[in-house]
Amino acid sequence: MSYARIKSIVVCVLLVFALTVPALAQGDVIKIGLISSLTGSVSTYGQSVRNAVTMAVDDINASGGILGRQISLIILDDKGDGTEAAQAARRLIDRENVALILGPVITPSVMAVAPICQAAGVPMLTPTGTGDQITTVGDFIFRGAYKDSFQGRIMAQFAAENLGLKEAAIIYDVANDYSVGLRNAFKTTFEELGGKIIAEESYSTGDTDFSAQLTSLAMRNPQALFIPDYYSTAGPILMQARLMGMDAVMLGVDGWDSPDLSALAGGFEEGGYIVNHYSGDVDSPVTQGFIAQYTAAFGQAPDALAALAYDGVMIVTKALEAAGSTDPEALKQALGTVEAIEGATGTIKMDPEGTPIKSAVILKITNGKWELVDRIDPIGR
């Protein structure tokens, strides 16, 4: 037996050993797990979430923790992949014995983790997952973002009623459930209100060229174009659409909210409308403080995902305080009932089904700034 082979066997044994030894119990801390996509093609969103969460947790620890205990944050990467997210979740639950899981960031990961948390009875809160089906998995599953159906409907109502539009076109990412969910909701509501979707085109995550789709859309000359996607894709679409000579009203979603949108859209985002959680005009000191602190810490302004992740920690903190312990049942009850949380995305109240009730605003980009156009009360959704 060669030396090299013995060495490789020893390494393997050590590896297995390292995996089996349970993590050493630490002092009296509250363990919270964060599953985020730190690598892989959606890592930009995962890193925003990680930054905001670590920032929030550091603040809480610096001011004495929760219930007199410090928070120990365990961050695991899932590469934006469901299989990996499931592994990470099991590890957090079985080896780290976390009180709660924050994340994952994107729906394919969320949907892989949710059944595990539900079966294990560990509460989970995804700060960013928007798919309607997420919270139907069970009563331990919570989220910090709007449902797709809520946001899509708000924009459709605004387009049909406030802007008085009769016709609209949609371009959406067929491989991204956030985009598909918003498109479905927008389409249904807009048609209910007597509007007509005259053309639809789609693309796949990672595409950069939209000229083919936009040329087809431009042929139909729509009054408005709904682009339900993140700023990173919405920006280039806006630019290409305008360069193509399309003069439609551009309608967007909370994913557009990023300081980079303007640069990515080459300034062509001017005049667009979005649904958002908060507005720069009327926002609270919490929002301002969050933006300033994040910018100072990470050298770039936060995007919508960072703000949502920050609020995810706020919701969890409030729930832990209300529950008075890390008992899963008590924590679950508390998560479904906390209210009056002042977060970076406005005032939040949780409903027992697991989705936050918060107001929405419609913003318009005027001279490069987001201006408040309308405020929608969440009642009757």
Partner 1 sequence: MANKLSGLLKVALLVLVYAAVQFLEGRGILLPYHVQILSLCCINIILVVSLNLINGFTGQFSIGHAGFFAIGAYLSAYLTVKLQLPFIPAIICGGILAGLTGLAVGLPALRLRGDYLAIATLGFGEIIRVIILNTDAVGGARGFSGIPKYTTFGLAYLTAIITVVVIRNFVASDYGRACLAVREDEIAAESLGVNSTYFKVLAFALGAFFAGAAGALFSHYLQYMAPTPSQIGFVKSIDILIMLVLGGLGSITGSVVAAIVLTVIPEFLRGFAEYRMILYPILLMAVMIYRPSGLMAGRELTLKGLTELFKGAKTRAYHS
Partner 2 sequence: MSWQIAALQQLINGLAVGSVYALIALGYTMVYGIIKLINFAHGDIYMLGAYFGFYAITMLKLPLLPAMLVSMVAAAIVGVLLERIAYRPLRSSPRISVLITAIGASLLFQSTAQLVFGASFRPFPQAMPFRRIQLGPVFITNRQLLIFGVAVLLMVILHVLVTYTKFGKAMRAVARDKEAALLMGINVDRIISATFALGSALAATAGILVGMYYNRIDPYMGMMPGLKAFVAAVLGGIGIVPGAVVGGLLMGVAENLVVTLGSSTLRDAVAFAVLIVVLLFRPNGLLGKKGMEKV
Chain residues in the site for partner 1 (CB under 8 A): 1, 5-6, 12, 15-16, 18-20, 22, 38-40, 43, 75-77, 79-84, 86-88, 90-91, 93-95, 107-108, 111-112, 114-115, 119-120, 131, 133, 137, 173-177, 179-181
Q: Which does 376 bind (CB under 5 to 8 A by kind): partner 2, partner 1, none?
A: none
Exposure letters 338-364 (e unless 16+ CB within 10 A, then b): beebebbbbbbebeeebbbbbebbbbb
Nearer to partner 2 by Cβ, of 236 and 252: the residue is 236
Nearer to partner 2 by Cβ, of 138 and 266: the residue is 266
Nearer to partner 2 by Cβ, of 37 and 149: the residue is 37
- Smallest CA-to-CA distance from 153 within 192, 120, 123 is with 192
Nearer to partner 1 by Cβ, of 47 and 262: the residue is 47
270 secondary structure, DSSP code:
T
Q: How far is CA 170 from each of CA 109, 199, 241, rounded to the nearest angstrom? A: 26, 7, 12
Nearer to partner 1 by Cβ, of 20 and 63: the residue is 20
Q: How far is CA 153 from each of CA 189, 275, 381, rounded to the nearest angstrom? A: 6, 10, 9
CB of 3 to partner 2, least distance (A): 22
Q: How far is CA 173 from each of CA 181, 303, 374, rounded to the nearest angstrom? A: 10, 20, 27
CB of 108 to partner 1, least distance (A): 4
Cβ pair 151, 253 in contact under 8 A: yes
Q: Which does 263 bind (CB under 5 to 8 A by kind): partner 2, partner 1, none?
A: partner 2
- Smallest CA-to-CA distance from 283 within 347, 369, 373, 378 is with 347
- Tokens linked to 76: 């695991």
Q: Which does 355 bind (CB under 5 to 8 A by kind): partner 2, partner 1, none?
A: none
Q: Which does 196 bind (CB under 5 to 8 A by kind): partner 2, partner 1, none?
A: none
Q: Which does 301 bind (CB under 5 to 8 A by kind): partner 2, partner 1, none?
A: none
137 secondary structure, DSSP code:
S
**Looking at this protein, which amino acid is placed at residue 82?**
G
Q: Which does 201 bind (CB under 5 to 8 A by kind): partner 1, partner 2, none?
A: partner 2
Q: Which does 95 bind (CB under 5 to 8 A by kind): partner 1, partner 2, none?
A: partner 1
Binding stretches for partner 2 (CB under 8 A):
39-41, 43-44, 46-47, 174, 201-204, 206-209, 211-213, 215-216, 218-219, 231-232, 235-236, 239-240, 243, 245, 260, 263-266, 300
Cβ pair 86, 64 in contact under 8 A: no
Nearer to partner 1 by Cβ, of 79 and 242: the residue is 79
CB of 83 to partner 1, least distance (A): 6
CB of 102 to partner 1, least distance (A): 15
Strand-pair partners of 201:
171
> What distance in Å separates the CA atoms of residue 287 and residue 225, rounded to the nearest whole number?
30
